[in-house]
Amino acid sequence: MVQIISKYDTPLIDPQYIEATLCTMLLGDISRLHILEIGCGDGKQANILSKDAMEYTAVDINEKIVSVAKKQIPLNQTNVHYYVLDASTLPFPDNRFDVVLMFYSLHEIAIEKQELVLQEVYRLLKAGGKLLIIDSVIPSSDLQKNFDLVHEYISKMNHFEGIKNARFSIKNSINNGLFKLEKKSHLDMMYKFSSKQEIINYLIEEFQYEIIWTTEKKLKLQSLVEQKYSAILDNQEIICQDLSDVYLLSSQK
């Protein structure tokens, strides 16, 4: 099993639900808040946070992954709603939400749509509403370089450009008066893998809803990981650092 040690500035926080924990730390009591999460994935963070929120709306463009998230909703919980939607044109009214969350999703959005999504977030937030973004850093940290292998050689996506543009999009949204930067912090996590094979298994699981892992693709990934860690023995422990930026912004309406 992959071991994760997390550090946010100085306090240690729960590594399995890192985004949800940071949300609670930065926003405090969310029991009266209407929250929108963009790029919710399989709903791991949504299903934790929605238990405390007044209402929790979660969207993702990937229909397959949203269907997985919906199956995890407890039967007696009625305040969480999942939708398959393009975040650049959301069908919700103006000033609908108190908080918008984007956990490692901004850089995954097409470069030409990133600023459009932030404009849409501005439209949807109430005056003074909060936008919490957690995203990868540049240059890529150790763990991110493993993700880059998948993006560059398997899914043929320019991951680095997406991350770089996401930073510019956030900066532009501040400079254009949409948001005020309330706080910028850093998240530092160390992933401990027992072997090269565990890294391969981890990457396949992380991309299970985005890539159809044929035997050919699995062998390609194995070759890439073996090449990257050629100086390390097969069953030797590997530690990868993962760094992220944490932005807390407020709507300037």
Cis amide leading into 15 (omega within 30): no
Please report the beta strands in 148-225, taking only residues with DSSP state E, as ranges in sequence order: 179-193
pLDDT in tens, 126-161: 999 999 999 998 877 889 899 989 998 898 777 888
Q: Report pLDDT for 10.
A: 40
Q: Is 211 exposed, middle or buried (0-12, 13-18, 19+ CB in 10 A)?
A: middle
What is the domain partition of the chain in residue ranges? 3-251
pTM here is 0.92
Start-to-end CA span in the chain (Å)? 46
Query: What does the pLDDT average to over 24-52?
Result: 94
Pick the CATH number of 3-251 from 2.40.50.140, 3.40.50.150, 3.20.20.60, 3.90.550.10: 3.40.50.150
d(CA 174, CA 19): 23
The two tokens of residue 80 are 């969480």
d(CA 137, CA 84): 27
- Count other C-beta atoms under 10 Å from residue 163's C-beta: 22
Q: Report pLDDT for 139.
A: 75
* pLDDT interval class at 12 (50, 70, 90): very low
> Greatest CA span in the chain, whole angstroms?
56
pLDDT in tens, 68-127: 999 988 888 899 999 999 999 999 999 999 999 999 999 999 999 999 999 999 999 999
